[in-house]
Structure formats: structure tokens, C-alpha cells
A and B are shown apart, each in its own frame.
Chain A
Amino acid sequence: AQTVTQSQPEMSVQEAETVTLSCTYDTSESDYYLFWYKQPPSRQMILVIRQEAYKQQNATENRFSVNFQKAAKSFSLKISDSQLGDAAMYFCAYRSAIRNNDMRFGAGTRLTVKP
């Protein structure tokens, strides 16, 4: 079974600094997709970044980048130049490329940004 683990329930970062959120997953599949979602107090789930497993190059979206280590089954999110608006719950998610209904989320990491 595929599982997604976020080992950091809470993280804190100073404004303008860099923070890395950890995510590991377990799968026997070779092709899949990984996502990071942000859930602010408004509860809306907002896509931050996506990575296809077949791509070796790490995905980047402005201040957000990932460190994807396929062999280690690790998918960490780095937030550079942290802003107050980055404060939220962050969820790592795994989606099978084969099974339509197989999308799994980690338990989330609550990120606090200190001014």
C-alpha cells in the first residue's frame, strides 16, 4: 500500500529565511505524481508544486522548489524568502499514475512564519 509520511507536525521559520518541509512515501510503482498543497486558514487546498516521477529534474515554482529523491522515496519542499502569507498547513500528496482513485495525502505540516 502506498503511504505518505510527513514527520514534522509543525515547523517555524523567520520571515525572509528558508525552510524545508519533509515528505517520504512508500510505493511499489515506478510511475506516479507527487504534489505539495497549501491549506491556509480559509481551508482551501491550493496546489503549490507538482513533480512527475519520471522526471529527474526537480520542479520549481518561484520561491518554492522540491528535492525529489526517487530512490530514497523522498520529496521535500523548500520555501525560500519566506513570507507571512506562507503560513499554512502543507500537505504532501502521492497520486498513482495507474489507479485512477489512488491519491494519498500526508498528515500535514503546520508552518508558522515569524515576522
Chain B
Amino acid sequence: DTAVSQTPKYLVTQMGNDKSIKCEQNLGHDTMYWYKQDSKKFLKIMFSYNNKELIINETVPNRFSPKSPDKAHLNLHINSLELGDSAVYFCASSQDTFLDTQYFGPGTRLTVL
């Protein structure tokens, strides 16, 4: 059984469009995350979220917004897509905010044309 899943695996879209990436975890974890991995493989955290707190990396444009319909889901919405948004986006989850290991999803490769 997949612990952290993301859909879609691949997403190709035009500049200016709005898109969403879905993430679900079946681990019963309290905290979920979104990461961006650029073409040079650098992995940067974008958001961490639990039912109490959303923490946003200050470098993330406000075109990006996480939305959590329930504890098991954290979807990533991106408005007005730009070329520089092309990357692989990873969702992750952990039991506790500070202490626990993060488990990653398989990633979503976003290509903006």
C-alpha cells in the first residue's frame, strides 16, 4: 500500500494556467509538506501544515497555496503558472512536526510551456 501518493505523476500545461496537484497519505500523520525539486536536484521546502498551523517558506510566491480538505490530504494549487515553476514537486508527511521522519511521495513532474 502506498503511504504517500500524489496525482498526477506528470503535468504539462501552458503558461498562465491554474493547476492543482493532489496529495494523500494513509499513515495517519498529523503534518504534511510540499517540496520543490528544481532541475539541479536542489530540494526546497515550500510549506508545512498540520491542523493547527500553516508555515510558509517566505520565498514561495503567493501564487502557490496549499489546501487541506482533511488531515490525510494536502493539495497544492498554483495560479498563473510561469516557466520557472517547472520542477518536480514532492509531497511528504510526518507524525509530528518537530521530531519525526518525513515520508515522501513519488513526486509530480510539472512542465510549463
Contact = CB atoms under 8 A, between A and B. Distances in A.
Given A42-B106, A43-B88, A44-B106, A105 B42 contact: yes
B88 A103 contact: no
Contact of A43 (B40, B98, B106): B106
A43 B88 CA distance: 9
Interface in B15-46: 40-45
A103 B41 contact: no
A47 B57 contact: no
A45 B93 CA distance: 12
Counting chain A residues whose Cβ lies within 8 A of the other chain, the interface size class is 20 to 34
B56 to A, nearest CB: 8
Interface centre among A44, A102, A108 (most CB of B within 10 A): A44
Contact of B40 (A37, A97, A107): A107
Contact of A97 (B44, B56, B98): B98
Nearest 7 CB-CB pairs, A to B?
A45-B104, A105-B43, A43-B107, A101-B55, A44-B106, A108-B41, A101-B48
Interface of B: 40-45, 47-48, 53, 55-57, 88, 90, 92, 97-99, 101-107, 109
Given A101-B48, A105-B43, 9 more contacts: A37-B104, A44-B104, A44-B106, A45-B90, A47-B104, A101-B45, A101-B47, A103-B102, A107-B41
